[in-house]
Amino acid sequence: MKWDGRTVHPETGKLIRLMHLQDERSSYMLRDEGNRVVLTAHDDTVLAETERIHGGNWVVKLPGEPSREHSRKDDAIDDILGNVALNPMNSAWPGRRPGSAPPGGERGSTLVAHAQALTLQVLAREPARADHSAGVAARALALTPTVPATERDTLVAAAWLHDIGYAAELRQSGFHPLDGAHYLRAHGWPARLCDLVAHHSGARFVAAVTGLGDQLIQFGFVEDAVSDALTAADQTTGPHGEALSLDQRLREKNDRHGSDSPTAHAHSQRVPYLRAAAGRVEHRLGLE
Protein backbone atom coordinates (compact mmCIF):
# COMPACT_ATOMS: atom_id res chain seq x y z
CA MET A 1 0.00 0.00 0.00
CA LYS A 2 1.25 3.46 -0.88
CA TRP A 3 -0.02 6.40 1.13
CA ASP A 4 0.11 9.47 -1.10
CA GLY A 5 -1.01 12.32 1.11
CA ARG A 6 -1.39 13.70 4.61
CA THR A 7 -3.69 16.06 6.44
CA VAL A 8 -4.44 17.17 9.98
CA HIS A 9 -7.50 16.11 11.97
CA PRO A 10 -9.50 19.33 12.53
CA GLU A 11 -10.39 18.41 16.13
CA THR A 12 -7.41 16.47 17.49
CA GLY A 13 -4.66 18.06 15.38
CA LYS A 14 -3.18 14.61 14.75
CA LEU A 15 -1.66 13.69 11.39
CA ILE A 16 -3.85 11.57 9.11
CA ARG A 17 -2.42 9.49 6.26
CA LEU A 18 -4.38 9.52 3.01
CA MET A 19 -4.60 7.19 0.04
CA HIS A 20 -6.42 8.25 -3.14
CA LEU A 21 -7.98 5.38 -5.07
CA GLN A 22 -9.86 5.14 -8.34
CA ASP A 23 -11.43 2.43 -10.45
CA GLU A 24 -13.48 2.53 -13.63
CA ARG A 25 -16.57 3.59 -11.71
CA SER A 26 -15.55 5.90 -8.92
CA SER A 27 -12.90 7.57 -6.76
CA TYR A 28 -12.28 6.94 -3.09
CA MET A 29 -10.31 8.24 -0.13
CA LEU A 30 -8.73 5.98 2.49
CA ARG A 31 -8.00 7.83 5.75
CA ASP A 32 -5.72 6.32 8.38
CA GLU A 33 -6.48 8.11 11.65
CA GLY A 34 -4.30 5.86 13.77
CA ASN A 35 -6.71 3.59 15.59
CA ARG A 36 -9.35 3.95 12.88
CA VAL A 37 -9.21 3.64 9.10
CA VAL A 38 -12.12 4.86 6.97
CA LEU A 39 -12.85 4.42 3.27
CA THR A 40 -15.15 7.07 1.78
CA ALA A 41 -16.67 7.69 -1.61
CA HIS A 42 -16.31 10.94 -3.56
CA ASP A 43 -19.33 12.38 -1.72
CA ASP A 44 -17.89 11.50 1.73
CA THR A 45 -20.23 8.50 2.13
CA VAL A 46 -18.55 5.97 4.42
CA LEU A 47 -18.17 2.72 2.48
CA ALA A 48 -16.23 0.75 5.07
CA GLU A 49 -14.17 1.21 8.19
CA THR A 50 -11.96 -0.67 10.60
CA GLU A 51 -11.22 0.21 14.19
CA ARG A 52 -8.83 -1.10 16.78
CA ILE A 53 -10.65 -2.68 19.70
CA HIS A 54 -9.70 -3.87 23.16
CA GLY A 55 -7.10 -6.61 22.88
CA GLY A 56 -5.45 -5.13 19.81
CA ASN A 57 -7.58 -6.72 17.11
CA TRP A 58 -9.12 -4.76 14.25
CA VAL A 59 -12.84 -5.01 13.59
CA VAL A 60 -14.01 -4.42 10.01
CA LYS A 61 -17.45 -2.94 9.37
CA LEU A 62 -19.08 -3.04 5.95
CA PRO A 63 -22.66 -1.80 5.45
CA GLY A 64 -25.11 -4.69 5.37
CA GLU A 65 -22.55 -7.28 6.49
CA PRO A 66 -21.60 -8.78 9.87
CA SER A 67 -18.48 -7.28 11.42
CA ARG A 68 -15.33 -9.38 11.40
CA GLU A 69 -11.97 -9.17 13.12
CA HIS A 70 -8.34 -9.27 12.05
CA SER A 71 -5.23 -9.40 14.19
CA ARG A 72 -3.25 -7.09 11.89
CA LYS A 73 -4.14 -3.61 10.71
CA ASP A 74 -2.89 -4.23 7.16
CA ASP A 75 -5.10 -7.33 6.89
CA ALA A 76 -8.11 -5.28 7.96
CA ILE A 77 -7.33 -2.63 5.34
CA ASP A 78 -6.93 -5.31 2.67
CA ASP A 79 -10.34 -6.67 3.70
CA ILE A 80 -11.87 -3.22 3.22
CA LEU A 81 -10.28 -2.67 -0.18
CA GLY A 82 -11.10 -6.16 -1.38
CA ASN A 83 -14.79 -5.85 -0.58
CA VAL A 84 -15.63 -2.29 -1.51
CA ALA A 85 -16.20 -3.19 -5.17
CA LEU A 86 -19.02 -5.51 -4.04
CA ASN A 87 -20.61 -2.91 -1.78
CA PRO A 88 -24.03 -1.75 -3.02
CA MET A 89 -23.22 1.80 -1.81
CA ASN A 90 -20.36 2.00 -4.33
CA SER A 91 -22.14 4.10 -6.95
CA ALA A 92 -20.63 5.35 -10.18
CA TRP A 93 -18.91 8.73 -10.32
CA PRO A 94 -18.53 10.22 -13.81
CA GLY A 95 -14.90 11.04 -14.50
CA ARG A 96 -13.68 14.61 -14.79
CA ARG A 97 -10.61 16.20 -16.22
CA PRO A 98 -7.81 15.98 -13.59
CA GLY A 99 -7.71 19.13 -11.50
CA SER A 100 -11.11 20.34 -12.63
CA ALA A 101 -13.44 22.11 -10.25
CA PRO A 102 -16.34 20.28 -8.62
CA PRO A 103 -19.50 20.29 -10.73
CA GLY A 104 -21.67 23.35 -10.23
CA GLY A 105 -24.14 21.54 -8.00
CA GLU A 106 -21.50 20.56 -5.45
CA ARG A 107 -21.01 23.05 -2.66
CA GLY A 108 -19.98 23.33 0.95
CA SER A 109 -17.75 20.64 2.37
CA THR A 110 -17.53 19.00 -1.06
CA LEU A 111 -15.67 22.07 -2.30
CA VAL A 112 -13.23 21.71 0.59
CA ALA A 113 -12.81 17.99 -0.09
CA HIS A 114 -11.97 18.63 -3.74
CA ALA A 115 -9.56 21.42 -2.80
CA GLN A 116 -7.82 19.11 -0.35
CA ALA A 117 -7.62 16.28 -2.88
CA LEU A 118 -6.18 18.53 -5.59
CA THR A 119 -3.61 20.00 -3.21
CA LEU A 120 -2.41 16.62 -2.02
CA GLN A 121 -2.27 15.39 -5.60
CA VAL A 122 -0.18 18.21 -7.07
CA LEU A 123 2.06 18.53 -3.99
CA ALA A 124 2.59 14.78 -3.60
CA ARG A 125 6.29 15.21 -4.41
CA GLU A 126 6.63 18.09 -1.96
CA PRO A 127 5.45 16.68 1.37
CA ALA A 128 6.59 19.71 3.37
CA ARG A 129 4.43 21.99 1.21
CA ALA A 130 1.52 19.59 1.65
CA ASP A 131 2.04 19.58 5.42
CA HIS A 132 2.10 23.38 5.45
CA SER A 133 -1.11 23.52 3.40
CA ALA A 134 -2.80 21.07 5.77
CA GLY A 135 -1.73 23.19 8.73
CA VAL A 136 -3.03 26.38 7.10
CA ALA A 137 -6.34 24.66 6.36
CA ALA A 138 -6.64 23.54 9.99
CA ARG A 139 -5.89 27.07 11.18
CA ALA A 140 -8.38 28.53 8.68
CA LEU A 141 -11.03 26.15 9.99
CA ALA A 142 -10.44 27.55 13.47
CA LEU A 143 -10.87 31.07 12.08
CA THR A 144 -14.17 30.43 10.30
CA PRO A 145 -16.16 32.22 13.05
CA THR A 146 -14.59 35.46 11.77
CA VAL A 147 -16.10 35.20 8.28
CA PRO A 148 -19.69 35.07 6.98
CA ALA A 149 -21.21 31.60 7.21
CA THR A 150 -21.68 31.52 3.44
CA GLU A 151 -17.93 31.90 2.88
CA ARG A 152 -16.51 29.53 5.47
CA ASP A 153 -15.99 26.68 3.03
CA THR A 154 -14.45 29.11 0.55
CA LEU A 155 -11.94 30.14 3.21
CA VAL A 156 -10.91 26.57 4.05
CA ALA A 157 -10.76 25.57 0.37
CA ALA A 158 -8.53 28.58 -0.37
CA ALA A 159 -6.31 27.63 2.55
CA TRP A 160 -5.80 24.18 1.06
CA LEU A 161 -5.13 25.57 -2.42
CA HIS A 162 -3.03 28.64 -1.65
CA ASP A 163 0.38 27.05 -2.36
CA ILE A 164 -0.40 24.68 -5.25
CA GLY A 165 1.54 27.01 -7.55
CA TYR A 166 4.75 25.59 -6.07
CA ALA A 167 4.13 22.30 -7.92
CA ALA A 168 6.59 21.92 -10.79
CA GLU A 169 3.91 20.99 -13.31
CA LEU A 170 1.96 24.18 -12.56
CA ARG A 171 4.93 26.53 -12.79
CA GLN A 172 4.74 29.25 -15.44
CA SER A 173 5.93 32.57 -14.04
CA GLY A 174 7.76 31.08 -11.07
CA PHE A 175 5.58 33.14 -8.70
CA HIS A 176 3.46 30.59 -6.89
CA PRO A 177 0.37 32.71 -6.08
CA LEU A 178 0.04 33.65 -9.75
CA ASP A 179 0.77 30.18 -11.10
CA GLY A 180 -1.70 28.55 -8.71
CA ALA A 181 -4.42 31.05 -9.60
CA HIS A 182 -3.86 30.58 -13.35
CA TYR A 183 -4.17 26.82 -12.96
CA LEU A 184 -7.39 27.07 -10.98
CA ARG A 185 -8.93 29.52 -13.45
CA ALA A 186 -7.98 27.29 -16.40
CA HIS A 187 -9.68 24.34 -14.71
CA GLY A 188 -12.93 26.12 -13.94
CA TRP A 189 -12.62 26.80 -10.22
CA PRO A 190 -14.71 29.69 -8.82
CA ALA A 191 -13.31 33.15 -9.50
CA ARG A 192 -13.47 33.98 -5.79
CA LEU A 193 -11.09 31.10 -5.00
CA CYS A 194 -8.75 32.05 -7.84
CA ASP A 195 -8.58 35.63 -6.55
CA LEU A 196 -7.89 34.55 -2.97
CA VAL A 197 -5.08 32.25 -4.06
CA ALA A 198 -3.58 34.93 -6.32
CA HIS A 199 -3.50 37.57 -3.59
CA HIS A 200 -2.93 35.52 -0.45
CA SER A 201 -0.62 36.93 2.21
CA GLY A 202 0.06 40.22 0.47
CA ALA A 203 1.27 38.65 -2.77
CA ARG A 204 0.78 41.96 -4.58
CA PHE A 205 3.71 43.50 -2.71
CA VAL A 206 6.06 40.72 -3.81
CA ALA A 207 4.68 40.86 -7.36
CA ALA A 208 5.52 44.56 -7.49
CA VAL A 209 9.22 43.97 -6.81
CA THR A 210 9.43 41.05 -9.26
CA GLY A 211 7.79 42.85 -12.17
CA LEU A 212 4.69 40.65 -12.09
CA GLY A 213 2.25 43.22 -10.79
CA ASP A 214 0.58 43.70 -14.18
CA GLN A 215 -0.10 39.97 -14.41
CA LEU A 216 -1.39 39.67 -10.87
CA ILE A 217 -3.99 42.41 -11.33
CA GLN A 218 -5.78 40.07 -13.74
CA PHE A 219 -7.17 38.65 -10.51
CA GLY A 220 -9.34 40.78 -8.28
CA PHE A 221 -8.18 41.80 -4.84
CA VAL A 222 -10.70 42.37 -2.06
CA GLU A 223 -9.62 43.18 1.46
CA ASP A 224 -12.29 41.56 3.59
CA ALA A 225 -12.79 39.07 6.42
CA VAL A 226 -11.99 36.07 4.20
CA SER A 227 -8.75 37.47 2.78
CA ASP A 228 -7.74 38.54 6.30
CA ALA A 229 -8.40 35.08 7.74
CA LEU A 230 -6.52 33.36 4.91
CA THR A 231 -3.54 35.65 5.43
CA ALA A 232 -3.60 35.15 9.20
CA ALA A 233 -3.81 31.36 8.81
CA ASP A 234 -0.87 31.29 6.39
CA GLN A 235 1.24 33.67 8.46
CA THR A 236 0.78 31.72 11.70
CA THR A 237 1.63 28.31 10.22
CA GLY A 238 5.20 27.14 9.76
CA PRO A 239 6.72 25.39 6.73
CA HIS A 240 5.84 21.94 8.09
CA GLY A 241 2.37 22.81 9.37
CA GLU A 242 3.42 23.78 12.88
CA ALA A 243 1.75 26.67 14.73
CA LEU A 244 3.83 29.85 14.94
CA SER A 245 3.25 33.40 16.03
CA LEU A 246 3.30 36.04 13.32
CA ASP A 247 6.70 37.30 14.47
CA GLN A 248 8.12 33.76 14.46
CA ARG A 249 6.77 33.18 10.97
CA LEU A 250 8.27 36.41 9.65
CA ARG A 251 11.68 35.54 11.10
CA GLU A 252 11.47 32.00 9.75
CA LYS A 253 10.66 33.22 6.24
CA ASN A 254 13.47 35.77 6.30
CA ASP A 255 15.96 33.11 7.40
CA ARG A 256 14.74 30.66 4.77
CA HIS A 257 14.50 33.02 1.80
CA GLY A 258 17.47 35.23 2.58
CA SER A 259 18.01 38.97 2.71
CA ASP A 260 18.23 39.37 -1.08
CA SER A 261 15.00 37.54 -1.91
CA PRO A 262 11.88 39.17 -3.39
CA THR A 263 10.16 38.52 -0.06
CA ALA A 264 12.86 40.49 1.73
CA HIS A 265 12.72 43.34 -0.81
CA ALA A 266 8.95 43.61 -0.30
CA HIS A 267 9.24 43.38 3.48
CA SER A 268 8.73 47.05 4.35
CA GLN A 269 5.53 47.31 2.29
CA ARG A 270 4.16 43.85 2.98
CA VAL A 271 4.64 43.39 6.72
CA PRO A 272 2.35 46.29 7.76
CA TYR A 273 -0.41 44.69 5.69
CA LEU A 274 0.20 41.28 7.29
CA ARG A 275 0.10 42.75 10.79
CA ALA A 276 -3.04 44.73 10.02
CA ALA A 277 -4.81 41.66 8.64
CA ALA A 278 -3.83 39.59 11.67
CA GLY A 279 -5.01 42.38 13.95
CA ARG A 280 -8.40 42.53 12.27
CA VAL A 281 -8.79 38.77 12.67
CA GLU A 282 -7.94 38.99 16.37
CA HIS A 283 -10.49 41.78 16.74
CA ARG A 284 -13.17 39.64 15.09
CA LEU A 285 -12.27 36.79 17.43
CA GLY A 286 -12.65 39.15 20.38
CA LEU A 287 -9.00 38.78 21.37
CA GLU A 288 -8.32 42.50 21.56
Residue extents of the structural domains in the chain: 5-86, 109-285
Predicted local distance difference test score (pLDDT) of residue 83: 55
Residues 6+ apart with CB under 8 A from 201: 162, 177, 230, 231, 234, 235, 274
Q: Which of 115-129, 166-180, 221-235 has the lowest mean pLDDT?
A: 115-129
- Give residue 255's pLDDT band: very low, low, confident or very high (50, 70, 90): confident
In the 3-class helix/strand/coil scheme, how is the chain assigned residue by residue? CCCCEEEECCCCCCEEEEEEEECCCCEEEEEECCCEEEEEECCCCEEEEEEECCCCCEEEECCCCCCEEECCHHHHHHHHHHHHHHCCCCCCCCCCCCCCCCCCCCCCHHHHHHHHHHHHHHCCCCHHHHHHHHHHHHHHHHCHHHCCHHHHHHHHHHHHHCCHHHCHHHCCCCCHHHHHHHHHHHCCCCHHHHHHHHCHHHHHHHHHHHCCHHHHCCCCCCCCHHHHHHHHHHCCECCCCCECCHHHHHHHHHHHHCCCCHHHHCHHHHHHHHHHHHHHHHHHHCCC
Predicted local distance difference test score (pLDDT) of residue 152: 93
Predicted local distance difference test score (pLDDT) of residue 45: 78
Predicted local distance difference test score (pLDDT) of residue 23: 57
Instruction: Give residue-wise pLDDT tens across range 49-91.
Output: 889 998 889 998 876 667 788 888 888 887 777 655 433 333 3
Distances (CA, A) of 45 to 16, 68, 78, 95: 18, 21, 19, 18
Q: What is the mean pLDDT of residues 244-265?
A: 80
Predicted local distance difference test score (pLDDT) of residue 280: 96
pTM: 0.65
